[in-house]
Amino acid sequence: MGKYKINSRSDNGVFVVTESYKKLFNKLKSLKKSRGRIIHVIGAPGTGKSANIYFALDELGLDVYDVELRIKDVNMDSGDVFKEVYREMKRDLGAGSKQEVYEGLSKFDALLFADRFHDSHLLDKKNIGFSVWTGQAGFKATKFYLLCIIEYFKERKMFKGINIILQTAWRVNFRGKKYDVFSDLGIISRVIIVLLKIFFEVVVISYSPLETLKIVKKHVNADDKLIEHYIDQYGSKPRIICLAIEKDRTYFDPREV
């Protein structure tokens, strides 16, 4: 597991309740009694999207199918990655057909695409996480998303019986720097979030400076002034700030997180 990074429920030893968490909790609490919903959790890298999701799942006692991507070849085609996701579900659920996969998933409170999917390489070095694969595939990874959209509309009736929780951070490189599309691009980010809300129930994980300070102090022993300095430098991104405090500032590069 990456330090200060939550990849499963068992990693969530320390947690601070924030306004973003309360919004997420309220979205998830009715999943046991509803189906056909897609909840999209977004936020800049380092804000703790997984920590919020897993803590809420535990508090609510939700039974989710936490998808883990176990591809072995970083050069796999989008179509092959898409098929591998289904193959893994088929094996895990003991299903004999695609219909049985969907029927098996409908028995869970939700289907979860979080860090076990995006960063499975941090759980098992033999795996290649989706984030690593997309980093290698670049624009070609767009085909994977198109296949997902096609599958959703093709099997719309089956998806009406399944809740989905998606966790996403979308970073782009520009002139040697990484920017989060959902938070770093000003009005463009706000427009993208408005568009997402047309198709999903969106929860944005973000913090006030005071919330960030409280979260960081739960994880590292540091003076308030030092934490505030890093908040000014990196924004309200607790994981990045924790790493910065622990590392030599000369060598720490938040673009590597």
pLDDT in tens, 24-39: 999 999 999 999 999 9
Q: How many CB atoms lie within 10 A of CB 163?
A: 24
- Helix, strand, or coil (residue 167): strand
pTM: 0.84
- The domain ranges of the chain are 16-206, 209-257
**pLDDT confidence bin for 1, thresholds 50/70/90:** very low
- Mean pLDDT, to the nearest integer, of 42-54? 89
Phi-psi region of 48 (alpha: psi -120 to 50; beta: other; left: phi over 0): left
Give the closest residue to 60 by CA, choosing from 34, 108, 26, 35. Answer: 26
HSE, CB side, 13 Å, CA atoms: give it for residue 239: 19
At the topology level, CATH places domain 16-206 in Rossmann fold (3.40.50)
Q: Which is higher by pLDDT, 84 or 174? A: 84
25-29, 45-49, 64-68, 244-248: least confident range: 244-248
